[in-house]
Amino acid sequence: QVQLQESGPRLVKPSETLSLTCSVSGSSLTSYYWTWIRLTPGKGLQWIGQIYFTGTTNYNPSLESRVTMSVDSSKNQLSLNLSSVTAADSAIYYCARDSGMFGADYWGRGTLVTVSS
């Protein structure tokens, strides 16, 4: 059974960097894309970007200048860093597995991150 779990600070100060980890169980990172998505009340679901197990990335151009993703195959984990955050980055952040051909299949439950001083 594939399970993904997001973790990280729930509160981040404006201008700082949001850092999240996604722990994957029941699936190897190999041969999949790993995606970060967020849900905000105003904008709905937004695709942040994805990383292939080799480390190749594709980021949403609207966030590209502030996003960094990485994979740690030894720990079966993914990481997301979003720099220079503002209140507009407050959201529920999800990680998801993506097969490539058929899109995202398994998602984590998400973690709520609030940007506030």
Partner 1 sequence: DIQMTQSPSSLSASIGGRVTITCRASQGIGIDLGWYQQKPGQAPKRLIYAASSLQSGVPSRFSASGSGTEFTLTISSLQPEDFATYYCLQHYTYPHTFGQGTKLEIK
Residues within the interface to partner 1 (CB under 8 A): 4, 35, 44-47, 49-50, 58-62, 94, 96, 98, 102-110
Neighbouring-strand partners of residue 115: 12
Q: Of 76, 78, 73, whose CA–CA distance to 51 is shortest?
A: 78
Smallest separation, CB 34 to partner 1 (Å): 13
Smallest separation, CB 117 to partner 1 (Å): 27
> Is the Cβ of residue 29 or residue 67 nearer to partner 1 in the bound state?
67
Smallest separation, CB 84 to partner 1 (Å): 20
Sign of CA pseudo-dihedral 91, 97, 98, 103: negative
Contact 11, 116 (CB under 8 A): yes
